[in-house]
Amino acid sequence: MRSKTKRLLTKFLKWRYRNISNKTFVHIMSLLVGFAAGLVAVTLKNLTYLIQSVLKAGIIFSENQLYFILPIVGLALVFLYVKFVHKKPLQHAVSSIIFSLSKKRGLLSIKDMYTPLIAAPLTVGFGGSVGLLGPAVQSGAAVSSNLSKLFHIDAKTRSLLVACASSGAIASIFQSPIAAVIFAMEVFTLDMTMSSLLPLLLASISGVLTSYFFLGNEVLFSFSLSEGFQLKDTLFYIILGLGTAVASIYFTKMYFRILQWFKPFKSPKYRLLIGGIAIGIMLYAIPPLYGEGFGFINNLLDGNHIAALGKTPFDAYTENIWVVIALLFGITLFKAIAMTTTFAAGGAGGVFIPTLVMGSALGNVMAKIINNIGLGFQVSESNFTLIGMAGLIAGVIHAPLTAIFLIAEITGGYQLFVPLMITASISYLVTKNALDYTIYTKELAKIGALLSHNKDQMVLNLMEMDDVIEKNFKAVHPEMSLGEMLHESVSKSKRNLFPVLDQEKKLIGIIVLDDIREFMFQTELYDTVFVKDLMHAPPEHIFQNTDNMKAVMKKFQDSGAWNLPVIKDGKYVGFISKSKLLTAYRRKLINFSP
């Protein structure tokens, strides 16, 4: 059966090469990938909502008591799946895709196709305070990657189709095709050329149509603008931009701080237990933290903050608007904590939608403060709720254009375009100056796997050190005599450089042919002069475990050397030559450029 399938695939590929141009085939694939990503997004949503609807009756019946146990149950199910089926730790969805594009030529595991469809609904459905967008993007990207591999698509096009999958997933979830295209360009740092823009648009359209086909006109945010931008509110939108910037910095720092706090717990069981209990306590006190939080956002947009807050221990005091403001501000603070605790405890999910929830709460809080502070000002709470969402997206993910167009498409028009630009740009600029990297990119930057709009930086990140290490050097040892070195190494080597290694294969020096040229024909020195008398230290070392290609290039620049030794785990590996490094750089640059 397998051989028959292989023959059919071979026939199809031959037919395709003869009859369909590469450009047309990429366009067809982008439509297919967009459909697949849209289907993944719809499946994820339906599975999660099914679990939530089954559990909802129990939560109501128990008067929220089940909030204490449900997160632990969900995380335990994810733990069992990861341990016995997936068999390796879950990776952050978007970060794993960026790493794949940077270091693995866009190749993603087959497991990444179905694992998010299992782990994310279990996490979110049982109360984990994370989103579904990241898992939808990861699963869609994995489908795209494996389809590209099946059809023998080159690495550069495969990377584009992986980005197309993210565009299709976002377009399907939010029914916002333009924002989906911009997200792919901002987060995956694609060049805005027609060769990349058109496939992204096709995938985005395909994803939206898939959503409409399976879900009809059902939308996440059932909201239409009643008030547009008013010039008198400009100062408040500037303040909101500064507020969302501070919240974005808090969100990002809290994320890494909580993950760091969980690191000493080596056993996943302890992390699960502690994280699950912590999430349960937070859900009992602040029910809107349960799951993704789209219901919370919709209630705020409808002006129903009581429904948004749900049943809390503070219900007797919610007639006081300042208590409501305090509770909403608590959601702003605790959403970041609940989300990160879910990740640290072993849950699967995304960052994007929790960011929207946090931004909506903060925007609504600011509007309520302005309206109730007693100075006679009156602003639209729904507008501030929406623009707060944009401010957090711009700050947390460093994607201001995505934030602007997403909210503009959600509202069905561009009446809020000016305040969106004001708030999103301020939030982005302040956060970008305060934080070099986002939740998606900080860990990737440490290992040199970060994609960048800087073409030089991008090419260096795409290069692999193993590809430029040369190992055809004849090693010598320090006790070797000059005569032995000339007969056993120099005469048999095509290189003019010789590493000096001890018995443990550790590099203790180097000898260059120029160092021994004046002694080569003085036979009386062959038995009296030794390698240890002639060797010297290399001008610099390259450490394979820690140095990225940018660091390697800088070491060549600072040392002025033509060859530098590579060390791994304290032992000699080989040399990198400047000429081979620059040749590899030029080739990668040619392949990378459109």
Angstrom distance (rounded) from CA 419 to CA 424: 8
Give the range among 171-185, 296-310, 459-473, 557-571 with minimum mean pLDDT: 459-473
pLDDT at 368 over 90: yes
Angstrom distance (rounded) from CA 338 to CA 344: 10
Q: Are strands 542-543 and 571-577 parallel, antiparallel or unpaired?
A: unpaired
Higher pLDDT: 222 or 425? It is 425
299-324 pLDDT, tens digit per residue, is 898 888 888 888 877 778 888 999 99
Local confidence band at 362 (pLDDT 50, 70, 90 cut-offs): very high
Angle at 452 between CA 448 and CA 457, to 5 degrees: 60
Instruction: Yes or no: say if 130 and 349 are a contact pair by the CB < 8 Å rule.
Output: yes
Delimit the domains of the chain by residue range: 2-215, 231-452, 457-592
Q: Give the pLDDT confidence score for residue 431 in this predicted structure.
A: 95
Q: Give the pLDDT confidence score for residue 303 in this predicted structure.
A: 86
Q: Give the pLDDT confidence score for residue 41 in this predicted structure.
A: 92
Q: Give the pLDDT confidence score for residue 222 in this predicted structure.
A: 63
Q: What is the mean pLDDT of residues 423-449?
A: 84
Q: Are strands 563-568 and 571-577 parallel, antiparallel or unpaired?
A: antiparallel
Cα separations in angstroms, 227 against 56, 197, 416, 480: 35, 33, 9, 86
pLDDT at 340 over 90: yes
Local confidence band at 192 (pLDDT 50, 70, 90 cut-offs): low
Local confidence band at 591 (pLDDT 50, 70, 90 cut-offs): low
110-159 pLDDT, tens digit per residue, is 999 999 999 999 999 998 999 999 999 999 999 999 998 888 888 888 88
Angstrom distance (rounded) from CA 592 to CA 67: 50
3-state secondary structure of 497: strand
Q: What is the mean pLDDT of residues 479-503?
A: 86
Neighbours of 526 (CB within 10 A): 16
pLDDT at 217 over 80: no
61-89 pLDDT, tens digit per residue, is 676 778 888 899 999 999 999 999 988 88
Q: Give the pLDDT confidence score for residue 594 in this predicted structure.
A: 44
Fold annotation for 2-215:
Clc chloride channel (1.10.3080)
Local confidence band at 255 (pLDDT 50, 70, 90 cut-offs): very high
Q: Which residues pair with 565 in a beta bridge?
A: 575
Q: Which helix (H) or strand (E) holds 223?
A: none
Cα separations in angstroms, 97 against 207, 395, 492: 19, 21, 46
Q: What is the mean pLDDT of residues 11-18?
A: 82
Q: Give the pLDDT confidence score for residue 239 in this predicted structure.
A: 95
pTM of the full structure = 0.79
Instruction: Yes or no: say if 132 and 48 are a contact pair by the CB < 8 Å rule.
Output: yes
Angstrom distance (rounded) from CA 183 to CA 46: 24
Among the four given CATH numbers 3.40.50.2000, 3.40.109.10, 1.10.530.10, 1.10.3080.10, the one describing domain 231-452 = 1.10.3080.10
* Residue 118, C-beta contacts closer than 8 angstroms, at least 6 positions apart: 81
pLDDT at 166 over 80: yes
443-484 pLDDT, tens digit per residue, is 776 666 555 555 556 666 667 788 888 888 888 898 888 888
* Residue 326, C-beta contacts closer than 8 angstroms, at least 6 positions apart: none
Domains 2-215 and 231-452 share a fold: yes
In 34-112, the DSSP E strands lie at: none
Angstrom distance (rounded) from CA 60 to CA 102: 47
Q: Give the pLDDT confidence score for residue 452 in this predicted structure.
A: 54
Q: What is the mean pLDDT of residues 248-259?
A: 94
Higher pLDDT: 53 or 2? It is 53
Q: So what CATH class is 457-592?
A: alpha beta
Angstrom distance (rounded) from CA 485 to CA 494: 14
**Percent of the chain having pLDDT more than 90?**
40
